[in-house]
Amino acid sequence: MKILDGNKTVTLDYEQLGNLPVVSEQGEKNVLNLLRNGEISTSSSVQKFERRFADYVGSKYALTYCNGTSALEAAVFACNAGPGTEVIVPSFTFLSTVMVVLANQATPVFADIDPDTWALSAETIAPHITEKTKAIIVVHVWGTPCDMDPIMELARKHNIKVIEDASHAHGARYKGKSVGSIGDIGCFSFQGSKLVPGGEAGILVSDDLMLYSRAAAAGHYERLAPLGPDNPYSRYSQTGLGHKFRANPLAIALADAAMDTLDARNEIRDRQARVLEAGIADLDFLIPQAIPADSRRVYAYHYMLYDPAKFGGVNPSTLMLALAEEGVICGACGYGRLHQAPAILEGGGFGNVNPHDTPVSLPVSEDMGRRQIMVALRFEQECPELIDQYIAAYHKVAANMEKLQAYERENGIRSFDLSGRSISIISADN
Ligand SMILES: Cc1ncc(COP(=O)(O)O)c(C=O)c1O
C-alpha cells in the first residue's frame, strides 16, 4: 500500500531523459587506442593528462594515482603526518578522507561542521589545533566549496598544511580559483560515479615541489629519478618510500574524455538542479546547502537539509519513502558517523595509532547525517518535463503531511541500511 493515494507522480524515465552513459564515445575511442597499442600499464598519455589537469585547476604539478584514496594517502604522507602527529578531519565525509590518516599511522582528530555549509570551517577547526597537528583535510562536500580563505589564514598562522579533498567538486570555484588549487595539496577522485569518471583513479595537485616530490615518493618510484639529483627524493628512485599507486592508463583515458566535456556538463547539471531547487523553494522544510560568497558550486550530489519541525515532525525516512513511492529517486546520506566507527575507535588496522577510547561528540555532523536528503540524482541532460514531475511529486507529498504522520503512527518508522557510500538510494520496495 502506497502512503499517498493515486498514481505515482513521476512516470518519465530518469535513465532515458535525465542520465547519460558514464562512458562517452570519445572515452571508448581513447581506451581502444591504448588497448591496441598495448599501453595498459604505462603510457605517455598519463603524463599528458596530468599536465592538462594541472592547467585546468591552475596548479603547477599534478600526479595521478590508482584512486582518490591513494592520492589522499600520499597527500597526508607528503605533509609529514605520521606516528605521533594529528590530522584534523570532518566526520561528514566518505571514509577515505579519514582512513588515509590512519593508514599513515597518524591520529585523525574530528572537527564538527558548519550547520549551513556542511563543511569544516575555521571556527570548527580552531579548537582542535595542537602542537601535534600537521594537516587539515577539508572536503568540498557534495560539490560546494568550503570557505577557504579563513581556513588558509588559520592554517598559515599555525604552520599547518591544508589538503583539499575535492572528490565531489571537479570544476567548482572559490573566489576565482579552482578548488584543489587553494590549499597546499588538492586531491580528486575519478571513481566511476564522480563528475570526471575514470573508473578507479585519482589525482593530486600542488604548487609545492617538495610536497609533490614526497607524494611521488609515496607511490611512484619511477617518477623520482626525473626530479633530478638535487631533489632529496630522487635517491629513493629504486624503491620509492612504500607503495606503488600508479594509475591505470585506461582509467586515465576515460577521465581525459570526461575532461573534454566537464565544463559544458557542469553547466547543464547546474541548470537542472537550479530549476528543481527553484520549483521546491516554497517548501520551507527543505533547506539548500549554503554556498560561500563569490563561489561556484557543482552539483555532484544534490542534497538538501530536511527540517522535520516544519513538517509535522515526520521522520526523514518516512518522507523519503513517500517520495520514492511517487517515483522520485531520492536517497539518504551515510555521512557523519565516521567518528563512531569501530575502526576509528580501535585506532585503525595498521597499529601504532592512539585509539580514541570514547567516541567524540559531533552534534552537527550527526544531525546532518540523519536529516540530509538527496532530492534527486544529478540530471545530466536538459529534462524540463522530468523535473516538472519531480516538483509535482514534492508538492504532492508536502500537501499530505497528515497522511505521512498517520502512516508513521500505524507502521512505525522504517529504518534503511546506510552504507559508507555517498548515496544510499531509498527504494519504495525495501
Ligand atoms: C569525499 C571523498 N573523498 C575521497 C573519495 C575516494 O575516492 P576513490 O573512491 O577514488 O578512492 C571519495 C569517493 O569515492 C569521496 O567521495
Residue 56: the pLDDT is 98
Indicate whether residue 167 lines ligand 1 (CB < 6 A).
yes
CA distance 313 to 405: 8
Closest ligand 1 atom to Cα of 202: 10
Burial (CB < 10 A; 0-12, 13-18, 19+), residue 401, is: middle
Going from the Cα of 1 to the center of ligand 1, the distance in angstroms, rounded, reads 38
Residues 248 and 292 in one domain: no
Is residue 366's pLDDT more than 80? yes
The residue with cell 617518477 is 223
Going from the Cα of 68 to the center of ligand 1, the distance in angstroms, rounded, reads 5
382 within domain boundaries: yes
Task: Using the 3D structure, point to which of 258, 282, 304 is the last residue of a domain.
Answer: 258
Chain-centroid distance, C-alpha 312:
32
Residues 412 and 292 in one domain: yes
85 within domain boundaries: yes
Residues 186 and 286 in one domain: no
Cell numbers describing residue 395: 508538492
> Ligand 1, from 72, 93, 94, 101: best to mutate by most atoms within 8 Å of Cβ?
94
Please name which of 95, 101, 102, 76 lies closest in space to residue 162, comparing C-alpha atoms.
76
Residues present in the chain in total: 430
3 within domain boundaries: no
Residue 103: CATH number of its domain:
3.40.640.10
| Number of separate domains in the chain | 2
Q: Name the average pLDDT for the chain.
A: 96
CA distance 305 to 144: 14
Residue type (1 letter), 345: L
Task: Using the 3D structure, point to which of 239, 258, 277 is the last residue of a domain.
Answer: 258
354 within domain boundaries: yes
Closest ligand 1 atom to Cα of 71: 11
**pLDDT tens, 104-146?**
999 999 999 999 999 999 999 999 999 999 999 999 999 999 9
CA distance 179 to 139: 10
**pLDDT tens, 182-192?**
999 999 999 99
CA distance 377 to 276: 11
CA distance 341 to 318: 26
Residue 79 pLDDT grade (very low, low, confident, very high; cuts 50, 70, 90): very high
5 within domain boundaries: no
**Angle 193-388-295 (CA atoms, 0-180°, nearest 5)?**
55
Residues 250 and 298 in one domain: no
Residues 254 and 339 in one domain: no
Residue 415 pLDDT grade (very low, low, confident, very high; cuts 50, 70, 90): confident
Closest CA to ligand 1's atom 4 = 96
Cβ partners under 8 Å of residue 89, min gap 6: 97, 98, 101, 108, 109, 110, 111, 136, 137
Residues 163 and 268 in one domain: no
9 within domain boundaries: no
Residue 153: the pLDDT is 98
Is residue 353's pLDDT more than 90? no
Residues 237 and 318 in one domain: no
8 within domain boundaries: no
Residue 336 pLDDT grade (very low, low, confident, very high; cuts 50, 70, 90): very high
**pLDDT tens, 48-75?**
999 999 999 999 999 999 999 999 999 9
Residues 245 and 270 in one domain: no
Please name which of 59, 30, 70 lies closest in space to residue 249, comparing C-alpha atoms.
30
Q: Which helix H or strand E contains 366, and what residues bound it?
A: helix 363-371
Indicate whether residue 365 lines ligand 1 (CB < 6 A).
no
Residues 222 and 310 in one domain: no
Please name which of 183, 149, 143, 142 lies closest in space to residue 163, comparing C-alpha atoms.
183
Task: Using the 3D structure, point to which of 242, 258, 274 is the last residue of a domain.
Answer: 258
Residues 277 and 203 in one domain: no
**Angle 387-178-77 (CA atoms, 0-180°, nearest 5)?**
115
Please name which of 375, 360, 153, 208 lies closest in space to residue 280, comparing C-alpha atoms.
375
> Ligand 1, from 70, 96, 204, 421: best to mutate by most atoms within 8 Å of Cβ?
96
Residue 218: the pLDDT is 97
DSSP letters spanning 9-61 = S--S-IIIII---SS-HHHHHHHHHHHHHT-SS--HHHHHHHHHHHHHHT-SE
Closest ligand 1 atom to Cα of 191: 10
Residues 254 and 268 in one domain: no
**pLDDT tens, 193-209?**
999 999 999 999 999 99
Going from the Cα of 308 to the center of ligand 1, the distance in angstroms, rounded, reads 30
Contact 221, 244 (CB under 8 A): yes
Q: What is the mean pLDDT of residues 214-236?
A: 98
Going from the Cα of 326 to the center of ligand 1, the distance in angstroms, rounded, reads 31
Burial (CB < 10 A; 0-12, 13-18, 19+), residue 407, is: buried
Residue 352: the pLDDT is 61
Indicate whether residue 64 lines ligand 1 (CB < 6 A).
no
> Ligand 1, from 167, 193, 200, 419: best to mutate by most atoms within 8 Å of Cβ?
167
Indicate whether residue 422 lines ligand 1 (CB < 6 A).
yes
CA distance 107 to 104: 9
Going from the Cα of 3 to the center of ligand 1, the distance in angstroms, rounded, reads 36
Domain of residue 353 covers: 14-20+262-425
2 within domain boundaries: no
Residue 306: CATH number of its domain:
3.90.1150.10
Burial (CB < 10 A; 0-12, 13-18, 19+), residue 417, is: exposed
Indicate whether residue 165 lines ligand 1 (CB < 6 A).
yes
Residues 30 and 80 in one domain: yes
Cβ partners under 8 Å of residue 297, min gap 6: 142, 143, 144, 145, 169, 172, 270, 289, 291
